Amino acid sequence: MDKIIVHGGATLAGSVRISGSKNSALPILAATLLTREPCTISRVPDLSDIHYMLTILSELGCEVERASGTVTVKAEKIRTVAPYDIVRKMRASVCILGPLLGREREAMVSLPGGCVIGDRPIDIHLKGFEALGATTLVEEGNVKMRAPNLRGTTVNLRGKFGSTVLGTDNIMMAAVLAEGTTIIDGAAEEPEVVDLANFLIKMGAQIEGAGTRRIIIEGVKELHGAKHEVIPDRIEAGTFLIAGAMAGREVTLTRTNPEHLQSLIVPLTKAGVSITSQADTVTVKSNGTCRPLHLETLPYPGFPTDMQAQVCAMLATTDGISVITENVFPHRFMHVAELKRMGANIELQGPTAIVNGVRKLSGAPVMASDLRASAALLLAGLQAEGTTEVNRVYHIDRGYESIDDKLNSLGAHIERVKA
């Protein structure tokens, strides 16, 4: 098991290329199950979660080829049972349910694993499948579904803490091969949902309204192969924006989409960070005197929950009192205890973190609890005095392609060693 050693105090400068979106690539790869013809997906990031998804596709009988960020999948003959040993490692593996049900009218998938950031049930997914005509049964840790007659319907996917992205993906993938019209109300509006919809449309699906709260799908009899390039990863881009705001002289992000970053760019600008953008680049300059912020996480286009931990790390050394309320995953504050080990002054009051900025953080051994928390600890280590040892970095490898190499290319001093 690897760990990352961060030597604090370096100043970041230069440019960094943003990888393809993990949260787009995973459901798009799953959607290749919907056709017997080959599909070619480019700009697929090299991540452990992607490896797990490709392994699942292979286990289901797909022919999978991967080279230089491009993946070709041919799902001519597939099985409908996904093994627990692979599925347990990644929550996003649940998104194979929709395409398996849509194409084969049955599926059995083990309940998935993933980050420990609070309760994330798939009951809304199952409600959507049942509305389409599927019978669902959860037993012995497996979800079993059958739908001899998959018919379009109207379903509302809004849950207790907002719309479900994977749920929207799943129902959309099942509905494209259902009979009749499906209307998804309370749909997730994230760019990753739009990216999946665009891929499905290239395959021959009839979808309108992706990116809004109502998606309308006219079922078709079959889909064909297609080629598609995954959108830039807005969470990776946001993480590098925070790195630049904390420790950068001038950092430019290339191959990104500024429009997808507005929910982060706007508050950072209010905090006093200088940010400029062009068609596919964003440049951030730190002025060293950020102002405190009051933020609350919300589904897109609101401030993303996947950036909460990283912003918390930045605000830990921002003079004044900042307040962050977590509305999406109210228990997603496991990074706070580790930041406090480094000297941060943070108090939790239910789903709200009160951050009283300190002058400096001190390097310390810390433990990554989940994907975004690990990124936050890495960022905190960049600014801390001394050396920070981040353990359990397999979390960070789930969602960031070569983040240590990319930060080193900007001037950081980071080592990856065997624990």
- Residue bearing the bigger pLDDT, 155 or 159: 155
> For residue range 56-88, what is the model confidence (pLDDT) as tens digits?
999 999 999 999 999 999 999 999 998 777 777
Range 352-377 average pLDDT: 95
Rg over CA atoms, the chain: 21
For residues 192 and 230, give the distance between their C-alpha atoms in angstroms, rounded to a whole number: 9
End-to-end CA distance of the chain: 6
Number of residues in the chain: 419
pLDDT band, residue 120 (cuts 50/70/90): very low
CA 378 to chain centre: 18
Q: What is the DSSP string of 224-269?
A: ---EEEPPB-HHHHHHHHHHHHHHEEEEEEES--GGGGHHHHHHHH
> For residue range 123-137, what is the model confidence (pLDDT) as tens digits?
889 999 999 999 998
Question: Is the pLDDT reported for residue 143 higher than 70?
Answer: yes
62 included as an active-site residue: no
How open is the CA angle 207-212-216, to the nearest 5 degrees? 30
pLDDT band, residue 115 (cuts 50/70/90): very low
Task: Look up residue 299 and give its two tokens.
Answer: 């589904």
Ordered domains of the chain (ranges, CATH): 2-19+232-418 (3.65.10.10), 22-229 (3.65.10.10)
pLDDT band, residue 159 (cuts 50/70/90): confident
CA nearest neighbour of 125 among 84, 96, 103, 105: 96
CA nearest neighbour of 246 among 16, 412, 83, 120: 412
CA nearest neighbour of 400 among 186, 230, 233: 233
158 - beta bridge partners? 163
pLDDT at 116: 39
For residues 401 and 322, give the distance between their C-alpha atoms in angstroms, rounded to a whole number: 30
Question: Is the pLDDT reported for residue 286 higher than 90?
Answer: no
Task: Considering the candidates 39, 62, 115, 312, report the single residue annotated as catalytic.
Answer: 115
71 - beta bridge partners? 41, 66
Q: What is the mean pLDDT of the chain?
A: 94
User: Residues 207-234, buried b or exposed e (16+ Cβ, 10 A)?
Assistant: bebbbebebbbebeeebebbebbbbbbb
Task: Look up residue 152 and give its two tokens.
Answer: 């379009």
301 upstream amide cis, omega within 30 of 0: yes
> For residue range 5-16, what is the model confidence (pLDDT) as tens digits?
999 999 999 999
CA 387 to chain centre: 29
Give residue for tokens 């998935």. Answer: 112
> For residue range 14-42, what is the model confidence (pLDDT) as tens digits?
999 999 999 999 999 999 999 999 999 99
| Cβ atoms of residues 40 and 71 within 8 Å | yes
pLDDT at 191: 98
pLDDT band, residue 92 (cuts 50/70/90): confident
Range 146-152 average pLDDT: 95
pLDDT at 123: 86
For residues 323 and 347, give the distance between their C-alpha atoms in angstroms, rounded to a whole number: 10
Helix (H) or strand (E) holding 139: strand 135-139
For residues 245 and 249, give the distance between their C-alpha atoms in angstroms, rounded to a whole number: 8
